[in-house]
Amino acid sequence: MREIESTPIERSRYTQLIIGIFIIIGLVLFGVYLHSLSETLPVYLFAGVLLGYILTRSRFGFAGGIKRIYMRGEGSLSKALLILILVTALVTMGIQWKAALEGAVPAYLATEGMDIIPGTANVYFTNIATIIGGFIFGVGMMLAGGCGSGTLADFGEGSGRALIAFIFFILGASPGHFARELIDQTAIGQVGVQLHLPEVFGYFGAFLMTVALLGIIYWLVVCYESYRKKEGTYLDPKGDYETIEQPLAHEKRKKFFSYETYHKLFVERWSFTIGAMALAFAALFVLVTTGKNWGVSTPLVTWNVAIFQSLGVKFPVEYFGSHIDKVNAGLLSDGGTIRNIGLLVGCSVALLLANRFKFDFAFNKRDGAYFALGGLMLGFGSRFGLGCNIGAMYASISSFSISGWFFLIAMSLGGIFGMKAFAGKVCILPHRMR
């Protein structure tokens, strides 16, 4: 990596730093207010801010695990995603195993009064909707330029593209939720499987299976990288680092209280591997403190209901009952909503502290239309498939649900299709280097 010198201009820009500090103070005050509503809500806020900060600081993106290797031919982010799942699955195994030994059961097998194994709410019933939803979501995340968490993160970073995609993400969430409820009641919707792997293979066996499958994907990534290198279309893993993200040149007499130290702590970009390890910690923090996995898209159904209910739209209680209850209780009483708000603000704070925040609306109307379409597909696909690549893929796989693997395959195929079908038609999807 090329090292750069710090400049006086970089040293003297304090406006964004001051704004970032004020936002942090505001987050503390907001947390105090949330504590007055419920003692658990500040935990959701802290988790969201932590997740957002990590995503932005490491430029980590789940959609990028597919897009980056296809466009650039290098799999640094893809490999980091595998590390993220592996580390999370290892710790989750211990958490779930302990709970099972104490008499807890998977959520889908539990009856009233039974303890539920943490994380097993993501052991979803896998049917045709999971496959179709995953594929639609995969196409959408290429058109929108990010997945569920990525869209929130980019929105928090000032991206106009993400703002459009996020609005339409919300608009597409309730239709996807409603469609999934309907198809699950049909004959074809009842054909499928719901399996928590430890129920068949035991916890250690389920973990070994997960390691083996992740190992196969890692091998495929390495083989594809070798192919692209021979083809001459492989790009340097760090070739897309911005100048300010790179480390400063080392000085002979480096003081701790200096711009160089500040740059190291708050500006210099983390590697994808460090980002993966930090995200694993944050996601496990969510699991330990709430008993449930990190998720992004479910609260957006609640936001959709809140918006349209305020406009006089009536939602059927039998399909939207839990979301209606959350709206009636107040959105700030919903933990998922608070975590998403925290994630968005955490991304903003990360860029403000690095003096890099800026609004970006560098696209035309046609691009905006594609971003809107991508957002709709993200919203519909995530709820039709019972989650985005956080809840339906990452959380499900690391919680040993077979559904996560089906969603991963469908989402990956959708992503590849989206990049091929829309290459050159939208600004964020150029033709692959040849």
Please write the tens of the pLDDT for every residue from 336-388: 999 999 999 999 999 999 999 999 999 999 999 999 999 999 999 999 999 99
Any domain includes 304: yes
Any domain includes 433: no
285 has pLDDT over 70? yes
Any domain includes 260: yes
Looking at residues 111-125, what average pLDDT do you find? Answer: 95
Nearest to 55 by CA among 392, 351, 408, 394: 351
432 has pLDDT over 60? yes
Any domain includes 2: no
Q: Where in the sequence is the domain holding 172, given as residue range(s)?
A: 8-421
- Residues across the chain: 434
What confidence score (pLDDT) does residue 8 get?
40
Spell out the residues 6+ positions from residue 160 whose beta carbon is closer than 8 angstroms to its own: 359, 360, 361, 362, 363
- 203/208 Cα distance (integer angstroms): 9
**DSSP secondary-structure letter at 189?**
G
Question: Model confidence over 375-401: pLDDT tens digits?
Answer: 999 999 999 999 999 999 999 999 999
2 has pLDDT over 60? no
Measured torsion, CA atoms of residues 37, 23, 58, 401, in degrees rounded to the nearest 10: 10
What confidence score (pLDDT) does residue 433 get?
63
Any domain includes 311: yes
13 has pLDDT over 70? no
Any domain includes 321: yes
Band of residue 329 on the pLDDT scale cut at 50, 70, 90: very high
Any domain includes 431: no
What confidence score (pLDDT) does residue 242 get?
79
Query: Into how many domains does the chain fold?
Result: 1
417 has pLDDT over 90? yes
Any domain includes 375: yes
User: Tokens 């003081």 identify what position?
Assistant: 255
- 192/346 Cα distance (integer angstroms): 39
CB neighbours of residue 354 within 10 Å? 21
